[in-house]
Amino acid sequence: MNVRFLEAFVWVAKLGSFKAAAEKMHTTQAGISSRIATLEEQFGVRLFDREHRGVMLTYQGTELMPHAERMIEMQARMVAAMGQTDAFSGMLRIGVIETVAHTWLPDLFSRFAEKYPNATLELISDITPRLRDDLLRGTLDCAILSEEITPGFIDNRRIANLAMRWVTSPSLALKFPSRKLLSFADIATQPIISFNRESSVYRNIAQNASGCTNLRVSYFSSLGAMIDLARTGFGTALLPLAVIQQDLLHGKLVVLDVDPVPIALPLVASMRLEPASPLAEALVGMAQISCDQFIATCRDDVLAP
């Protein structure tokens, strides 16, 4: 039995449409339909009920699902056990938050490409809530984000805790009180540059915002844009130190001492356990190595205590 046909069956079931499965497997919708039709002919049963809003597993399809997932996983592990890493030619879809994209992601992808030269990667860079939803839907195989995902079929591995600090341009820093330790109320007298409202970083800001009058917060989905705006004196931003080391070194940004100290930004590698993917497992393991090596070259304060 062709395992690729079983893969088509699994992805149609998980994504709820032939079109989505075709996009996932980088083939045509007609190709997916042909594979499913072949399986149904071989088993002598219907695996899906086709409805105008999508497809649903039949009773027989539901019975087949766990066996199909085990066969796909078994084939991948057999190939890995034989050391034939160049035999992996599939697509691995990974999502990362921008903090990772701006730091050690290139090293991670280089490591992966060296070991799995025939595998391909598709990258999505987005905020944690959207990456979490994509991983749960099955449109991502693994993700590196800032929160753990609670459902039991997701494996979460904490990679690091990055220190977050309030930073701004040297010119805007002069507008704050001269005392060394500032309060959030002091920060709130000037415009604040924030990540998207759905992000954990914004929640960090919101927790301290009660009682602050005339709070001015601008929201951005781009980390690069936030850094550029902070450099120009547009406002004060809460950013991971690991991303802005060069700006601090060259005096384009300065760190403000603020009480309370901002909550650290966790880096969590999460991957689906069903179906298990040896490629995803390998990439998550490499992610820890790449992150550790990057941090070893950084300032001493980029990691949270």
DSSP 8-state class, residue 87: G
Domain end position, chosen among 81, 116, 135? 81
Tell me how far apart the alpha carbons of residues 19 and 275 are, in angstroms, rounded to a whole number. 20
Give the strand pairing for 236-240 and 164-168: antiparallel
Residue 34 and residue 48 in one domain: yes
The answer as to whether 271 is a domain residue is: no
Report the Cα 180 to chain-centroid distance in Å. 36
The answer as to whether 202 is a domain residue is: yes
Residue 173 and residue 104 in one domain: no
Tell me how far apart the alpha carbons of residues 161 and 267 are, in angstroms, rounded to a whole number. 6
Residue 52 and residue 197 in one domain: no
Would you state the pLDDT for residue 276? 65
Residue 99 and residue 244 in one domain: no
pLDDT exceeding 70 applies to what percent of the chain?
93
Residue 149 and residue 216 in one domain: no
Residue 7 and residue 151 in one domain: no
Domain end position, chosen among 81, 115, 141? 81
DSSP secondary structure, 169-204, as one string: -HHHHTTS-SSSSEEHHHHTTS-EEEE-TTSHHHHH
Task: Evaluate if residue 218 carries a pLDDT over 60.
Answer: yes
The answer as to whether 195 is a domain residue is: yes
Q: Which CATH number covers residue 189?
A: 3.40.190.10
Residue 139 and residue 174 in one domain: no
Residue 153 and residue 208 in one domain: no
Domain limits for position 206: 164-263
- For the stretch 117-159, pLDDT in tens is 888 888 999 999 999 999 988 888 899 999 999 877 889 999 9
Whether 141 contacts 279, CB under 8 Å: yes
Residue 183 and residue 224 in one domain: yes
Q: Report the SS3 class of residue 102.
A: coil
Residue 240 and residue 91 in one domain: no
Task: Evaluate if residue 89 carries a pLDDT over 70.
Answer: no
The answer as to whether 208 is a domain residue is: yes
Residue 52 and residue 137 in one domain: no
The answer as to whether 303 is a domain residue is: no
Residue 100 and residue 147 in one domain: yes
Task: Evaluate if residue 93 carries a pLDDT over 80.
Answer: yes
The answer as to whether 212 is a domain residue is: yes
Phi and psi for 220 in degrees, rounded to 5?
Answer: -140, 145
Would you state the pLDDT for residue 160? 95
Number of domains in the chain: 3
- For the stretch 237-268, pLDDT in tens is 999 999 999 999 999 999 999 998 999 999 99
The answer as to whether 300 is a domain residue is: no
Write the single-letter amino acid at 268.
Answer: V
Q: Which CATH number covers residue 38?
A: 1.10.10.10
DSSP secondary structure, 134-163, as one string: HHHHTS-SEEEESS---STTEEEEEEEEE-
Domain end position, chosen among 81, 103, 133? 81
